[in-house]
Structure 1
């Protein structure tokens, strides 16, 4: 189990946001921690990498599973994608 304090992104060292997992998802988690820093090198380089490897206009953000402590990519299709499900710090 990961410490309940806000973890930091391993790519940019910014605090990660709690993000509500969609109800229709196959993930069992209620939330993940996600880096929504638009200047994060992982996110910025993802646009180029996915275009070069798959001709896809998409990127990914760094996601942390609080149950396993593992980081993995969370696909996004725009800079604003998925931001509507950020859980406020007080919630």
Structure 2
């Protein structure tokens, strides 16, 4: 993976290696944006909180084996305020 491929296309920050584990059914190591200020994450959290009143969001991930990216669900601790809680 090149340095450019390792950057989140939404915020430009480096993504972290992530292994979802064999029980997930996904293909090995992927990369995930863990930037809590990323527009993809912030807008996703707001949309889910507004529409469903649950403490989830989504983060951008990239699967190098398939050369594709997408959304992965992330649970958020704390209350539904966008200024509180931390998503993992």
Fold in common (TM above 0.5): yes
> Unaligned regions of 5+ residues in structure 2, if any?
77-85
| Distance in 2 of aligned mates of 1:54 and 1:22 | 28
Higher relative contact order (CA 8 A, sep 6+): 1
Tell me which of 17, 42, 64 is aligned to 2:40: 42
| Aligned position for 1:61 | 59
| Aligned position for 2:2 | 5
Secondary structure of 2:22's match?
Answer: coil
Answer with 65-74 or 49-58: which moved more.
Answer: 49-58
Secondary structure of 1:30's match?
Answer: coil
Secondary structure of 2:42's match?
Answer: helix
> Unaligned regions of 5+ residues in structure 1, if any?
82-91
| Distance in 2 of aligned mates of 1:70 and 1:19 | 15
The TM-score with structure 2 as length reference comes to 0.77
| Distance in 2 of aligned mates of 1:19 and 1:80 | 15
Runs of 4+ in 1 over 6 A off after TM superposition: none
Count of residue pairs brought into register by the alignment: 77
Give the Å deviation of 1:14. 0.6
| Distance in 2 of aligned mates of 1:45 and 1:76 | 13
